[in-house]
């Protein structure tokens, strides 16, 4: 795709490229500047947003069984580390882990979270890697064959839901290779009543709307984008055939958004697609993981079967 302005950042470049598409879209990774990250933390506390609470409940209740799957002396890799809150449930149950290796694209946040974790786990060897885990990345060497430990992965939060089925397959293939001889514990949001999904992404307090709209506000702050503050609104709905929540920023009227002097015309009702959040069935996800080389193992779900944590074994 060709656009007339030399972009200053990948955000600028990706936003230009996404705005030039017939179906305008931008990656949800651009939600997470400081303000967006704080808004996401607030989303996790919302009464309507069940995934975080459901997953924490599963970890609280079953971390010992999950740690059992991972085995003694594990080298634990976490994909997309965030605040490192959830992994504590595993660390509390793992038998003599060799190392904890959190991967995250945001170096400052990752290192701050590691400092905090180290204070509570002084004996733990923490080896953070600043990297985009969807791209080729370095890891510390695998546990030595005689050490009795395996390399295992943790990918909580149903973050895989942001990936298209093709991207999810690429990630699972990469992980199955990287974790061969060990396995992966992964959180997925399950298919459920669309009314429950709708409420989770259209909360009454409007935090998800603010989170979505922050993407444009960020473009204004960082890139000097020009548009009417009230010209766009939050739109989130369940696309049942594609089994995903879609979030969009919808234009209220015919207007132009100006980025680096380039006018992008929006008609009334036209949208910028900002996020997909795919929902899975346990069996459907296990089948996809099997195609990537994993052997499905134990599954933990809450009573309502709204969220799942799945153990996927990766053969040597
Ligand atoms: C962080 C991708 C798991 O898809 O539910 C929450 C992000 N977007 N509310 C999700 C999100 C709107 C979240 N993930």
**Separation of 276 CA from ligand 1 center, angstroms?**
9
**pLDDT at position 210:** 98
Q: Are residues 22 and 66 in the same domain?
A: no
**pLDDT at position 9:** 66
Residue range 276-309, pLDDT digits in tens: 999 999 999 999 999 999 999 999 999 999 999 9
Q: Whose CA is nearest to atom 14 of ligand 1?
A: 159
**Separation of 14 CA from ligand 1 center, angstroms?**
20
Q: Which atom of ligand 1 is nearest to the CA of 40?
A: 6
**Separation of 59 CA from ligand 1 center, angstroms?**
19
Q: Are residues 286 and 252 in the same domain?
A: no
Q: Which domain holds residue 70?
A: 50-192+279-313
Q: What is the number of other CB atoms lying within 10 angstroms of the CB of residue 255?
A: 17
Q: Which atom of ligand 1 is nearest to the CA of 212?
A: 12
Report the CATH number that the domain containing residue 67 is assigned in CATH.
3.40.50.150
| Ligand 1 pocket list (CB less than 6 A) | 43, 51, 157-159, 161-162, 201, 208, 275, 277
**pLDDT at position 6:** 44
Task: Report residues of the chain scoring pLDDT below 70.
Answer: 1-9
In a domain, 42, yes or no: no
**Separation of 277 CA from ligand 1 center, angstroms?**
6
Q: What is the pTM of this model?
A: 0.94
Domains: count for the chain: 2
Q: Are residues 136 and 261 in the same domain?
A: no
């Amino acid at each position: 795709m060709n656009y007339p302005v030399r972009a200053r950042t990948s955000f600028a470049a990706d936003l230009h490229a996404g705005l030039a598409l017939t179906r305008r879209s931008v990656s949800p990774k651009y939600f997470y500047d400081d303000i967006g990250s704080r808004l996401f933390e607030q989303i996790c506390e919302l009464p309507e947003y069940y995934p975080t609470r459901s997953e924490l409940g599963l970890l609280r209740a079953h971390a010992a069984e999950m740690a059992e799957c991972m085995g003694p002396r594990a080298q634990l890799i976490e994909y997309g580390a965030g605040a490192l809150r959830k992994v504590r449930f595993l660390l509390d149950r793992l038998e003599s882990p060799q190392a904890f290796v959190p991967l995250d694209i945001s170096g400052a946040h990752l290192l701050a979270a590691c400092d905090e974790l180290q204070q509570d786990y002084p004996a733990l060897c923490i080896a953070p890697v600043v990297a985009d885990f969807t791209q080729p990345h370095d890891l510390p060497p695998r546990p030595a064959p005689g050490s009795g430990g395996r390399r295992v992965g943790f990918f909580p939060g149903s973050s895989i839901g942001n990936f298209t089925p093709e991207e999810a397959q690429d990630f699972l293939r990469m992980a199955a290779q990287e974790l061969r001889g060990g396995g992966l514990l992964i959180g997925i949001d399950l298919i459920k009543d669309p009314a429950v999904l709708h409420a989770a992404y259209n909360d009454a307090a409007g935090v998800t709307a603010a989170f979505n709209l922050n993407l444009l506000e960020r473009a204004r702050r960082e890139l000097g984008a020009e548009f009417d503050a009230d010209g766009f609104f939050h739109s989130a709905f369940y696309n049942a055939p594609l089994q995903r929540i879609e979030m969009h920023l919808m234009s209220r009227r015919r207007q132009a958004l100006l980025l680096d002097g380039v006018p992008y015309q929006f008609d009334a009702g036209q949208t910028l697609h900002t996020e997909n959040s795919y929902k899975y069935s346990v069996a459907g996800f296990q089948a996809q993981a099997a195609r990537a080389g994993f052997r499905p193992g134990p599954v933990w779900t809450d009573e309502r079967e709204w969220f799942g944590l799945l153990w996927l074994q990766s053969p040597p």
